[in-house]
Amino acid sequence: MDKRILERAIRDLQVLSQISAVPLMHRSHPYLPDIARDTSEHLKLILAKGSSTDSGHNFYLQVTVNSILRKAAQSSEILFLSCRAHNGEVVAARRNLTKLSLIFSHILAELKALFPGGNYQGNTYQISKIDASLFWNGTFGKKCLVQWNDFRAGLGSVHPVGSGPLEVALRSTIDVTCNDHVSVFEFDIFTRLFQPWNTLLQNWMLLAVTHPGYMAFQTYGEVKVHLQCHIQKPGSYIFRLSCTHLGQWAIGYVTSKGEILQTIPHNKPLYVALLEGEKEGLYLYPNGLSSNPDLTELSNPSRSPKVLVTQEQWDLYSDMGSSFELCKICIDNEKNVRIKPCGHLLCDQCLSAWQKSDGHTCPFCRCEIQGKENVRVQSQPEPEESPVSNDSSNSLSCNQTFKEEDDWIRHRPLPPPPPNSSPTASPPSWSPLVSANSSNFAMAHSRPPLPQRGTLQASDLINGQSETPVALSGRRPKVPLRIRREKHRSYPISNNTNEN
């Protein structure tokens, strides 16, 4: 760490601390001049203690100081341009400056946590949650800062992280200092906000991705202004990260008397506070909407929801030499992910590859992907369970939800016959599921033997080749052992037709 760079960051922060007379600045927390002054004073303390020369945390200071320099320059540019801005531009400039004020506030809190009194203690920082602490120490050791890609790879070993828009959303939630790195302090904040550890990403998905009441980068004053639009609807509420108590939530709501109050629930997860507030009639309408998300599954975590297969589905896939459990894109992995809200199933690898190619819609029905859920497919009742499951909350009917997938399987493109095939070759033993009246009847009877058929790979669908013949792979799709041995045996199948 070059001492001159640290001194330059201190000077830039001192300049920001002297802009209190600018009309864009609101005298409320986070107040940028005060935060800039406190940050510069703490950097002076670090410099005086000689902590900046310690190679153990040089990387952290290098990343943090360079981030401060960039954000100080952005703040100065916004303030300069706002002098010539029109009304609409002034509103946007004030919002951008407020967001930068929040980021500076987070940087200051992180510096104080890792450098208490100016002395470096990032290698001994204690993460609040035991499971989260064991993960960080076992994965990153004594590091107090890791690059995002390294963090994502480490977290993916215990909590699979998909790519695409969900990864971007996760990074924006964890990286509160916005420097493309994750510190041990930021990780501690994230795990406290979305506890418990065993359902960490599920909690994050329900609370910060799909919940309409979540507001990112908002201040106390902005929440009051936002809820003024719902002042005539008591029970309206929104929630945000607390500016003054990082690692805790702040909930703003409209009372029955038309007042706007904000509270910080202590010593309890957010979903518990929201469920309790819903019972008391305080938190009923997220952001003024009439539908309040169901968070009871977070209070009673269980195994992944089961997807029960009907007899028709079972017969269809058995006759095709496959099984309902197999992903119909790669035909290798079992389905373990359900797309929200359409409910179609595939494996996590194919969904990640699809989203990585900027696929924002379901590959089967083209419905917009709003999230995903881990599931387990149950074709037959498990030994310890009754043939007809009464757990309607964890069971899904396949009659209507997967109609598009059935059609996709029936009419998917087939490869041409092998170039050296003989006209007198024996007919294939595989019986196609196509009626004689179908336009595909002739093509179905000209199909090559099953060992010569190609398989549709995830890359074919991602690259838009699902409407053209796929290349021959020369291999037969894997058939689970249970199907090969028990294909012709009869089993009682659940007749549950309620879709939840």
Mean pLDDT of 269-297: 90
Query: Same fold for the domain at 125-209 and the one at 306-417+432-486?
Result: no
Domain 125-209 CATH superfamily: EF-hand (1.10.238.10)
CA distance 492 to 309: 11
Q: Within 10 A of 110 (CB to CB), how many other CB atoms are there?
A: 23
In the Cβ-directed half-sphere of 485, how many Cα atoms lie within 13 Å? 3
CA distances from residue 180 to 138, 172, 208 in whole angstroms, order as listed: 22, 9, 19
Angle at alpha carbon of residue 477, lines to 472 and 483, rounded to 5°: 160
Contact indicator for 391, 494 with CB cutoff of 8 Å = no
Q: 220-299, which class in CATH?
A: alpha beta
CA distance 304 to 202: 11
pLDDT number for residue 261: 94
Mean pLDDT is highest, among 7-21, 62-76, 150-164, 344-358, for 62-76
Contact indicator for 114, 122 with CB cutoff of 8 Å = yes
Q: How far apart are the first and last CA of the chain?
A: 57
pLDDT number for residue 367: 81
- Cis check: omega of the bond before 428, within 30 degrees of 0: no
pLDDT number for residue 314: 61
| Bigger pLDDT: 212 vs 407 | 212
CA distances from residue 456 to 214, 329, 453, 465 in whole angstroms, order as listed: 40, 6, 10, 9
pLDDT number for residue 282: 93
pLDDT number for residue 79: 81
Domain spanning 306-417+432-486: CATH 3.90.400.10: no
Instruction: Please give the radius of gyration of the chain, using alpha carbons only, rounded to the nearest integer.
Output: 28
| Bigger pLDDT: 177 vs 399 | 177
Mean pLDDT of 190-218: 89
C-alpha closest to that of 136 among 174, 164, 107? 174
Contact indicator for 144, 60 with CB cutoff of 8 Å = yes
> What is the per-residue DSSP string for 140-178?
HTT-SEEEHHHHHHHHHTTS----THHHHHHHHHH-TT-
For residue 449, the 8-state DSSP code is P
| Bigger pLDDT: 449 vs 198 | 198
Q: What percent of the chain has pLDDT over 90?
A: 32
Sequence ranges of the domains in the chain: 3-121, 125-209, 220-299, 306-417+432-486
Q: What is the pLDDT of residues 389-429, one digit of tens each?
A: 333 333 333 444 445 555 555 555 544 444 444 444 444 43
Give residue 45's Cα distance to chain centre: 38
Q: What is the pLDDT of residues 29-51, one digit of tens each?
A: 778 888 999 999 999 999 888 76
Q: Tell me phi and psi for residue 345, to 5 degrees.
A: -115, 145
For residue 118, the 8-state DSSP code is G
Two tokens at 192? Answer: 């406290």
In the Cβ-directed half-sphere of 435, how many Cα atoms lie within 13 Å? 2
SS3 assignment, position 430? coil
Q: What share of the chain is helix, strand, coil (3-state, %, to 5)?
A: 45, 10, 45
Domain spanning 3-121: CATH 1.20.930.20: yes
pLDDT number for residue 110: 95
Q: Are strands 249-254 and 236-241 parallel, antiparallel or unpaired?
A: antiparallel
For residue 330, the 8-state DSSP code is T
pLDDT number for residue 482: 43
pLDDT number for residue 471: 37
CA distances from residue 93 to 25, 34, 89, 101, 103 in whole angstroms, order as listed: 11, 19, 6, 12, 15
pLDDT number for residue 463: 42
Strand-by-strand arrangement of the 236-241 sheet = 260-263, 249-254, 236-241, 285-286
C-alpha closest to that of 490 among 385, 384, 381? 381
pLDDT number for residue 315: 64
pLDDT number for residue 295: 86
pLDDT number for residue 416: 47
In the Cβ-directed half-sphere of 44, how many Cα atoms lie within 13 Å? 11
In the Cβ-directed half-sphere of 455, how many Cα atoms lie within 13 Å? 19
The reply to whether the predicted model has a pTM over 0.85 is no
Q: Is the dihedral of CA 383, 389, 395, 399 positive or negative?
A: positive
For residue 229, the 8-state DSSP code is G
